[in-house]
Chains A and B, each alone.
Chain A
Amino acid sequence: MKKLQIASLAILVVAIVWFCLLEAGTLSSLQSGLLAILSPITRSGGAVKKSISGIGKDLMTLEQLQKEYDRILAENRRLRAENSGLRDLQTDNDHLRQVLGYRERSAFRLIPAAVLGHDAGTWWSTIKINRGSKDGIAVDMPVITDRGLVGKTTAVSSDVSEVVLISDENCKVAAKVEGTKEQGISGGARDTAGELHLTFLSKLADLQPGQKVYTAGVSGGIFPSGLALGTVKSFHARELDGEAILEPSADLGDLEEVYVVTGAK
């Protein structure tokens, strides 16, 4: 019995030393393996969470139902009236788009994904999505919503991926401010949850609250140019540069559906 204990202890010590000496590449592969193990639990848990949160949403009193019915009826009438006018506009719009080639220049190839959950790490802002290498996702792909940039993929298993959010201190994004020549680097901070800090601006930038900030799309970078990043909340000059606090365009605390940008169309 004692021999068995000594052998077990020796195995434990060897395992500890081996794990401590692993390099980043091996650790990354191990992380993908762990994601694959967690994937069925996370996916089924996400489905359960969605159905549970749906229960409360669906329950209404008779009075609320009547109000909802009246609202929908009124909205239906308004939409039908609008729709007839919009058909003409749609035709014009399609024609103009074709002429300008707007779609060809600005659209991306997108893979829709559902958010399975926010990671519980306190100092890191990451989420898991239900798409992986099977769907064509790879590491360092931008993730967006219809409202703006969300983050980038950092770890990918066959059917689940991890996305680091732009509010994470490690997710740096080159950004430019609407209506100015100001460019800076945006990232999260440990002491503020959810806000972005846009640094390396000119001290004289004098940005105003409400100004929009977009990705700058530096060459060789991950994020394409022109994605909405956030809105300026405040600006202050520091010793060497200016810093703006941004409210992210996408609601990072309430993400349900996102799109992974796999390339340009």
Chain B
Amino acid sequence: MVLDGILVLLILAMAWRCVRTTDLFEAIIVFVGLGMMIALVWTRLQAPDVALAEAAIGAGLAGALLLANLRQLPEDSSAVRWRSSWLWWSLWGILGLALGFAVVSIQTTPVSLMPLVQAHLPESGVTHPVTAVLLNFRALDTALELAVLLWAWMAQRHLFEGNFKAFHSLQGGVLKTTVKMLFPLVVLIAVYLLWRGSSSPGGAFQSGAVLAAAWLMLWLAQLPGLNWQRLSLKVGLLGGVMVFFWVGLLGLFQGAGFMGYPADQAGGWILLIESVAALSIGLLLASMVLVSMPNFQEQSP
């Protein structure tokens, strides 16, 4: 209870600091710390799946993305003046009141969907309830999440202009040797997270984030990594969404409805979708961070 109270106060203070500070670098660092704190809260709420995703994507990769883009912002943007007009306060005041009203009007006896999920778990093809919901009962939501990621990737490619400022490049044998040692281990962890997803916390998004981190490590150490011109990589970027919708259409023809699978094949289809989705997510996230890095040679033909 004391720990939860401290966590809540810390999160509120960090969120305030993140918005209030005029130093953009500090704001990013605080944002990453905030992500870790929120991951801790998810752990306390016994939602390890969300905690893993928040720590890996919300804090880790989003932080890397923000840091990589910080260099491209104009210098004087760090001196944004904090203006508090009555309009600002009334706008956020109304929003705050509405949120408070929404919180107060939440039903005090929550309707649990857990019995329903547990009753249909044997038909889902997996044994972990979260994976059953994400990849079977509500597969469309997960497919659309993937599509949103793909959309963000495309949008970023068109915003990217490619004028960079100089930065300190990291070199040296220590970095290279350590990355060479760590790379196979990190890929192993990604596969483990994916495989574990069918029976316990883990899954495509967490695994994809770890894969992306592995590729970023290779790039930072200036080791030969992925060749982004290759056709197979471009197919890989799109693969997750495509496989998801193809399998979904197959379910429609087999009479299980769009994004539904026959109960006896569900396990296999889910494994296929999750593997391709993890690869796609990893490629998309890595590519999004890399494109915003300087010295990245990616001239698309």
> Are A and B associated in one complex?
no
B residues touching A (Cβ–Cβ < 8 Å)?
A: none
**Which chain A residues have a beta carbon within 8 Å of chain B's beta carbons?**
none
